[in-house]
Chains A and B, each alone.
Chain A
Amino acid sequence: MSLPATIRQLRDEMRGGQSAVAVCEAVLEHIEQIKPLNAFNTVMRDEARARAAAIDSDPARWRNAPLAGIPIAIKDNICTKNVRTTASSRMLERYIPPYSATAIERLEAAGAVVVGKTNCDEFAMGSSNETSAFGPVRNPWSPDRVPGGTSGGSAAAVAANAVPVALGSDTGGSIRQPSALCGVVGLKPTYGRVSRYGLIAHGSSLDQIGPIGRSVADAAAILSAIAGRDSADATSVDQPTMDYERALTGDARARIGVPRSLLERGVDPQVSRAFFAALDVLKSGGAELVDIELPHARYAIPVYYIVSTAEASSNLARYDGVRYGLRAGPAQGGLHGMYSATREAGFGAEVKRRIMLGTYVLSSGYYDAYYLKAQQVRTLIRRDYDAAFDTVEAIAMPTAPTPAFRLGERVDDPLQMYLGDVFTVSANLTGLPAISVPCGFTAERLPVGLQLTGRAFGEAAILRIADAYERQTEWWKQTPTLRFHE
């Protein structure tokens, strides 16, 4: 078989007699070739081969399975039973989950072959994949640049054609921003659409698992497999799901809102140019563009970094060296000495910074001024989006204000790093679904992403519009020529 391949191409090849084992071997070989990108924490060679062989040996059982034999990479903060799951942290370097995330079980029930666990920012905190305890991932389009984060390994692995699809997780843009920076498609579903059971918690009111793929159709195929109510996650909801590939009619007709005043400052001119050119394509395909206002969207970054760090400081309290993960600590100093020595040794700088910030905004005397205030402004941001969606079906923005930046460029300036999330965090604060699709390149051949945000549970609409856009463009077919400085 030849790579790159989409799920559709692989399905055709396998219907034509190609074995799941052959597809798996080709992918494993490709993963080996892209090793300098550092996209994988763990490659599951034995497990993937055994699984592919099992699928080949029982064609009757798997003939109608939508993802039979399709290789997929999984972000390393999503639990895989009996396979090391680290969240790219020293804290969980040797953690072997006793269960799989619901999303993994559903992918496997649909026939997918999990081939490995991808590198990410530590505990999914970062915007560049540079906070990983196992080193940064490199951008396949320019190896001295970041792939984005936090699902940087998943996006880079797909962009470099090592795998057709991958799972990521998105708390403030962690699927969409790396997808934009690596030139692939990434979808954050509506909060509650996909079970979070088995996702290592970061910001529990913001986190969602979602797909990264080369095409909108592939993202739709993966969403179809993982969506739906799960009794193990009380926040997953009982909303009808569908075969989202069937929503892809090629019809771009829709009212699309454009928050122009939000885009006036702080956007790289080349990103702006690609974005407005994409709007022209949508318009020529039948979309109606409408100017909208999102008056509180400019407060989304401070609100996000208060709410998400507050939730993270609480979620990460569980890493105390008792039940799982690292234990460090002095022989003396008792239980608390062990806790703090473990947390000092196990967490990296960004995770500590966020735990500190979150603890501060929740602490007595500061709670009302920061945390409560941020939750109130979160309501105002939701109301802005509710009002906009009274008149439009989707809202268009660039996914990220700049293309991929250089490794190391922002690591010493956390605030600068946070500001890059300006267009992505609102979808998490509001819970709305949002997709990033490739919409052009800069002069240095760095990809640019177009983001479409939809109504709650309106994945079908944004997938349809994104797919119609993709059919009119060739950006998504571009692939990087890998050049490694060994």
Chain B
Amino acid sequence: MDPSTAFARLRDANPVSPTQLAPATSPDAAALFRRIVAAADVDLGRDLDVVVGRTRRPRRRLRLLVPGVVVAGLVGAGAYAAVTRDVSKPQFVACYERADLGARTQVVSVRSGGPVEACAGLWAAGAFGAVPVPGLAACTLDSGAAGVFPTTTGADVCDRLGLARPPAPGSSTTTAPSTGAVPSGPPAAPATTAADENARFLAFRDAVLPQFLDAACVDPSTAQSVVRRELDGAGLADWAVRVGDGVGDGFSADRPCATLAFRPDERAVLLVPAPPRR
């Protein structure tokens, strides 16, 4: 057969006519747009607060939280601090790649909706590969933090993993609106997994940061006691609080205030000298 004719017949056999394309204004298309843009809140490398799990940071990397950076980076810190202690609204959730406590995890902030929605956004953003968002269920980890697992059996996965179900019915799967009812209070039990440890660290960080953000200057002595108290409260009693540690020239008249640097790999929080905030 003549190639031109064959090509013309192929064109006629187009399963979806170029003149009948689905509009971007259809309900499905509009919903997809909203979902994608909303996923920006957990977009890796942009708005994601922390991606931890088994991802290892460079050993020597030091995250200095000087006041200006903190203020610029944490929008709405005041409101954030106000809800930090609300146990009905978890601040962070560990998203598991598989229904297995040893699976790879990523910890994300719960900015709106609940933990299931936060993890669904992470899945939709491709954090676990180019796969559809699976059914998800939230459980309460031993630490008290929220963990969300892919599952086809709803909250039954919590029983199978030996975890507590979230307290509020209807908040634990993607098929029902989540109210974020998994508690996020200070963990009580020792850390048992990397995700638990991460959740503890995040809880600590979010408890301690507002206390530094709200003050123009925190002297080293006060800083040490505050950090120690919050570490203990978050179940991180074995973490150290170190002063200076070779960062800068030490506390001085020009740099009398303590800011924080976290070294999770060394299980330590550093008090770093800084000038007062204006």
Task: State whether these chains interact.
Answer: no
Q: Which residues of A contact B (CB under 8 A)?
A: none
